[in-house]
Amino acid sequence: MGWSEAAPFHSPTYLDESAGSVFYNVSKIFGPHVVGREYDTAAHLNKRLSIFKGNSFAKAAIEIAWWTLQSAITGTPLHRLLGGHARELPMGAAFDVQPTIDALLAKIQGAVDQGYPRIKLKAAPGWDLEMLRAVRAAFPKTTFHIDCNSGYTLDDLPLFKAMDSLGLVFIEQPLHYADILDHAELARSIQTPVCLDESIVSVKAAQQALQIGACKYINIKPSRIGGLANALAVHNMAADAGVPVWIGGMVESGIAISISLELATLPNFTYPGDLAPPARFFKDDLADSPPQMSSSLTMSPATGRLPGPNPGRLAELTKCHETVK
């Protein structure tokens, strides 16, 4: 038995997939196409899935299960199958848009007091330069980056130029969710590095982004990029280009977080990750024994089997299910 998790949002507000589209594609289209065959490698499975365009979350739901199943069958920790080595992984803190700048400063103070190695701030039109200037004035030495979730266009170039004096590590996904050309132009026009998240939905997208210099960092989310084989390919390609990667997450249970921790043991995951114990999002996590954060604000890959769902909680929380034969 192997478990995986794809966690697009309920509605297509992050990318163009949603919980409903993923459920439909996995249960009605992709699932029936892949069951009843043998797959020696993830590449073999991905080749079978490659007649379907896009839909990286739905593909990841199937592909990641191949890896966790392979890990269970061979008794090999997933990080070793992926080529990683068990290590403690530093995690950063993240803060959404807050009601006031004072409220944000108080939250940042809490994270600084706890010793988080870096802090991510969500930025959006109306919550950007003034906020960042206040934050930098209050915390001159703290490591920050901002995540714009595609909220801006190239018309905002003066805004991004003004941010150059604020010492951000990078600006994450400032422009359109499917763009790399404008990001490359922005990257040439400002000093602060650009990081891509939403735009990197495939190995091809990553390859082209690196080729044209659209980013100096890449956020890797296994389910956004179509699974772990793609994540590995992007990790290696970025390493060859001298571009560090870091692990990100969706609103995920301990099942997906555990899988991402295995991936993040690979050597080019050098910037502190964005995984947190699932308690950040859920009162009761779906996973039995979800991963925890240590007092040094690190998380570690599983020493044995990956956690599966707690059967009772799974039954209680299930909205719909489908058997594919």
Question: Which is closer to Mg ion, CB of 89 or CB of 302?
Answer: 89
Task: Tell me, yes or no, if 47 is annotated catalytic.
Answer: no
DSSP three-state, residue 249: coil
Q: How far is the CB of 114 from Mg ion (least distance, A)?
A: 22
Which residue among the candidates 59, 120, 122, 216 is catalytic per the annotation? 122
* Residues 7/85/238/218 CA torsion (nearest 10 deg): 40
Task: Tell me, yes or no, if 221 is annotated catalytic.
Answer: yes
Instruction: Find all residues with CB under 8 Å of 31, minimum gap 6, and list them.
Output: 62, 322, 324
Q: How far is the CB of 197 from Mg ion (least distance, A)?
A: 4
Enumerate binding residues for Mg ion (CB under 5 A). Answer: 147, 197
* Residues 218/221/223/228 CA torsion (nearest 10 deg): 80
Question: Which is closer to Mg ion, CB of 221 or CB of 235?
Answer: 221
Q: How far is the CB of 14 from Mg ion (least distance, A)?
A: 9
User: Radius of gyration (Cα) for the chain, nearest Å?
Assistant: 20
Alpha-carbon gap, residue 231 to 241, rounded angstroms: 15
Q: How far is the CB of 55 from Mg ion (least distance, A)?
A: 20
Task: Yes or no: say if 222 and 231 are a contact pair by the CB < 8 Å rule.
Answer: yes
Question: Which is closer to Mg ion, CB of 25 or CB of 199?
Answer: 199
Which amino acid would we find at residue 98?
Answer: Q
Question: Which is closer to Mg ion, CB of 147 or CB of 179?
Answer: 147
Question: Which is closer to Mg ion, CB of 98 or CB of 149?
Answer: 149
Alpha-carbon gap, residue 89 to 270, rounded angstroms: 9
Which residue among the candidates 59, 120, 216, 221 is catalytic per the annotation? 221
Q: How far is the CB of 151 from Mg ion (least distance, A)?
A: 11
CA–CA distance from 91 to each of 7, 43, 148, 251, 298 (Å)?
A: 20, 30, 20, 16, 6
Whether the CA torsion 283, 284, 285, 288 is positive or negative: it is positive
Task: Yes or no: say if 189 and 183 are a contact pair by the CB < 8 Å rule.
Answer: no
Nearest-CB residue for Mg ion: 197
- Residues annotated as part of the active site: 122, 221
